[in-house]
């Protein structure tokens, strides 16, 4: 396996442009299977998860082309298989997003239980209950769930038992081609969900309430082809902001989608991280306060996550590392995944002053100097967090299993090296 050798203690400074949003690209690629016409997608990030999903699409009959470095054209005139390859599905969570396209195109789908990050319990029940409400039937056997329906799906009034992003995306795709009206209540409203809905409307779907937690979908008989440009990855933007702050660098992030950054920047301010919004760019000054801003009438600051527009769960690992370099005490309260904080033992071994209270809460007292360590990357976001820690630590750290980082961040070592980071990839 490949690894990073990282020499810390050097400011990360300069100008960078974020890649396209991974969490938007994956459902958009899956949705291309809903039509037999050509779909052209721009600003697609060159990451492992995208490559794996494209391979899955090709395995079931979709034709794909790459006319440019970050462009993909997909045409799925026919679907020759409704069963997905087990080995590839075990690598990515996004394979679950092919459930709806296969169900509406073929009336049948066989989906191996998806893989992806091991950050805690990740239910598929909400997906299956929603499909059942639309008239589908399902069964689970031998770690494969099978969906089927007789004829066209029927619209329904559905209350999701949790505001699941992927369940919302699956059910929006299914309802777009169902007969009649579907109302999705307690729907997720993250930016990538909004972008999927806008993309489907561009293809001829009729979705209202985009950006809210109640979506109304009038089913149509068919979708046409079209073009879509993936928005900037606001999670990558947040990672770069934290990295510049803790390494005392000066960074300009171009086309940073600041409209999606409001809650992230609000919580970063509580950690003493300040930025300037310059139209569509975000500037991180080199001199950061890095001091906890206490709440009124209480000395303990709490940063917690939740469904949009709350602080994103995928930014919790980054916020925790930033807190180790900030003066004061903060509680990091991860509400959504019970295993996401289990990477903190690596930070403690580096010298961080962290008390893991339980699977969901960690108290961080900073600032503490970090020292080099040999570590393994457990998931995409924890991998990025450990890389940030290594870049502000003293000495040369080794980060193993960087395939996890490559799944979500494009050519990260090359892009950060251009900003002055001392990072070297060693192929295993």
One domain, residues 418 and 363 = yes
pLDDT at 120: 42
One domain, residues 306 and 363 = yes
pLDDT at 46: 94
One domain, residues 75 and 44 = yes
One domain, residues 324 and 418 = yes
The pLDDT tens digits for 339-391 are 789 899 999 999 999 999 998 999 999 999 999 999 998 888 999 999 999 99
Domain end position, chosen among 204, 229, 254:
229
Domain end position, chosen among 197, 229, 261:
229
One domain, residues 116 and 261 = no
Half-sphere exposure of 113 (CA within 13 A, CB side): 11
One domain, residues 264 and 413 = yes
Q: Is the peptide bond before 408 cis (omega within 30 degrees of 0)?
A: no
One domain, residues 182 and 207 = yes
Angstrom distance (rounded) from CA 123 to CA 350 = 34
One domain, residues 40 and 149 = yes
Q: Contact at 8 Å (CB) between 2 and 421?
A: no
Q: Is the peptide bond before 179 cis (omega within 30 degrees of 0)?
A: no
pLDDT at 142: 81
Query: How many domains is the chain partitioned into structurally?
Result: 2
Q: Is 79 exposed, middle or buried (0-12, 13-18, 19+ CB in 10 A)?
A: middle
One domain, residues 149 and 293 = no
Angstrom distance (rounded) from CA 102 to CA 82 = 6
Residue 142, C-beta contacts closer than 8 angstroms, at least 6 positions apart: none
Q: Is 121 exposed, middle or buried (0-12, 13-18, 19+ CB in 10 A)?
A: exposed
One domain, residues 292 and 384 = yes
One domain, residues 11 and 125 = no
pLDDT at 119: 44
pLDDT at 116: 47
One domain, residues 198 and 274 = no
Tens digit of each residue's pLDDT, the chain (428 residues): 799 999 999 999 999 999 999 999 999 999 999 999 999 999 999 998 999 999 999 999 999 999 998 999 999 998 887 778 888 887 787 889 999 999 999 999 998 887 644 444 457 899 999 999 999 999 988 888 899 999 899 999 999 999 999 999 999 999 999 999 999 999 999 999 999 999 999 999 999 999 999 999 999 999 999 999 999 999 999 999 999 999 999 999 999 999 999 999 999 999 999 999 999 999 999 989 999 998 887 778 999 999 999 999 999 999 999 999 999 999 999 987 777 898 999 999 999 999 999 989 999 999 999 999 999 988 889 999 999 999 999 999 999 999 989 989 999 999 999 999 999 999 87
Residue 76 is part of which domain span? 22-229
- The CATH number that applies at residue 95 is 3.65.10.10
Structure tokens at 79: 């679907």
Domain end position, chosen among 207, 229, 251:
229
Active-site amino acid positions = 117
């Amino acid at each position: 396996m490949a690894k990073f050798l990282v020499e810390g203690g050097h400011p990360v400074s300069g100008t960078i442009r974020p890649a396209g949003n991974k969490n938007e690209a994956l459902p958009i690629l899956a949705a291309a299977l809903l039509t037999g016409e050509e779909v052209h997608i721009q600003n697609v990030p060159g990451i492992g998860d995208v490559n794996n999903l494209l391979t899955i699409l090709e395995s079931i009959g979709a034709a794909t082309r790459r006319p440019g470095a970050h462009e993909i054209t997909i045409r799925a005139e026919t679907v020759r298989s409704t069963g997905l390859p087990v080995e590839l599905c075990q690598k990515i969570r996004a394979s679950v997003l092919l459930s709806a396209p296969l169900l509406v195109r073929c009336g049948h789908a066989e989906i191996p239980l998806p893989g992806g990050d091991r950050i805690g319990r990740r239910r598929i029940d909400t997906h299956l209950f929603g499909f059942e409400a639309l008239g589908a039937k399902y069964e689970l056997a031998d770690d494969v769930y099978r969906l089927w329906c007789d004829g066209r799906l029927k619209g329904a009034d559905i209350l999701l038992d949790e505001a699941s992003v992927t369940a919302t995306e699956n059910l929006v795709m299914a309802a777009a081609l169902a007969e009649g009206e579907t109302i999705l209540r307690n729907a997720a409203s993250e930016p990538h969900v909004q972008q999927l809905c806008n993309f489907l409307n561009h293809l001829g779907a009729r979705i209202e309430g985009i950006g809210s937690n109640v979506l109304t979908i009038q089913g149509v008989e068919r979708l046409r082809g079209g073009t879509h440009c993936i928005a900037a990855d606001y999670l990558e933007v947040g990672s770069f902001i934290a990295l510049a702050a803790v390494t005392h660098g000066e960074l300009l992030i171009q086309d940073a989608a600041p409209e999606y950054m409001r809650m992230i920047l609000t919580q970063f301010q509580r950690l003493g991280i300040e930025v300037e919004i310059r139209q569509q760019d975000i500037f991180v000054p080199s001199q950061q306060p890095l001091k906890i801003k206490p709440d009124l009438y209480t000395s303990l600051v709490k940063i917690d996550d939740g469904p949009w527009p709350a602080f994103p769960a995928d930014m919790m690992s980054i916020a925790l590392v930033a807190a180790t370099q900030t003066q004061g005490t903060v509680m990091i309260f991860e509400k959504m995944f019970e295993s996401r904080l289990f990477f903190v033992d690596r930070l403690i071994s580096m010298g961080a002053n962290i008390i893991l209270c339980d699977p969901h809460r960690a108290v961080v007292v900073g600032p503490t100097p970090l020292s080099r360590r040999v570590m393994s990357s457990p998931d995409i976001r924890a991998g990025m967090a450990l890389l940030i820690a290594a870049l502000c630590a003293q000495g040369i750290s080794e980060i193993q299993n960087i395939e996890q980082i490559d799944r979500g961040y494009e050519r990260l070592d090359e892009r950060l090296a251009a900003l002055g980071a001392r990072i070297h990839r060693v192929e295993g």
